[in-house]
Homo-oligomer: A and B are copies of this chain.
Amino acid sequence: MTVIFSKKCEYGMQAVLYLAANNKDTTKSSDQISRALKIPKEFISKILQSLRNSGLIFSTKGKSGGFGLAKDPSQIKLIDIVQAIDGLEMFNSCVLGFPECSPDTPCPVHDSWGALRTKAFEMLSTETLDQLKDKTLTKIKTLQQE
């Protein structure tokens, strides 16, 4: 069972948070990101490539190349990453898996689940990455200690 988002999306959010938490104008190599977040190097590399294609991050090739944010952290929200990787479909679908999710044909938990999806969307779309910076740094620090 996945918790709402795919591994790709989870890793993507982690990596972009990581980039946002580091000094601007300095890139991080996929190897650094891999070690910091304990994500398989080649896998995060692929994910970062696709995020680059979406325009969320940029990359520089060659020696001392790497990845960095394409915009200022204050211009990016977690929902942007979700949209780029998993899409926004989940915010329009039913927790019980019924097709045709709409108020006209409510599923048995329609009201509660509708409210929840809204809350989840807000969670990902209100705060910007710079606002999440401190907590991100704390979290990453604990990852290293294992």
A residues apposed to B, CB below 8 Å: 1-7, 9-11, 13-14, 17, 78, 86-87, 89-90, 93-100, 105-110, 112-113, 115-116, 119-120, 122-124, 127, 132, 135-136, 138-139, 142-143
Residues of B within 8 A of A90 (CB): 1, 3
Q: Are B1 and A87 in contact (CB under 8 A)?
A: yes
Choose one: B11, B89, B105, B143; the contact of A138 (CB below 8 Å): B105
Docked Cα-Cα span, A146 to B139, in Å, equals: 48
Q: Are B110 and A120 in contact (CB under 8 A)?
A: no
Q: How far is the CB of A124 from chain B (nearest CB, A)?
A: 8
Residues of B within 8 A of A2 (CB): 1-2, 6
Q: Which residue of B lies closest to A131 (CB)?
A: B108
Q: How far is the CB of A22 from chain B (nearest CB, A)?
A: 15
Q: Which 6 pairs from chain A and chain B are nearest by CB? A: A10-B97, A108-B132, A112-B123, A108-B135, A1-B86, A105-B142
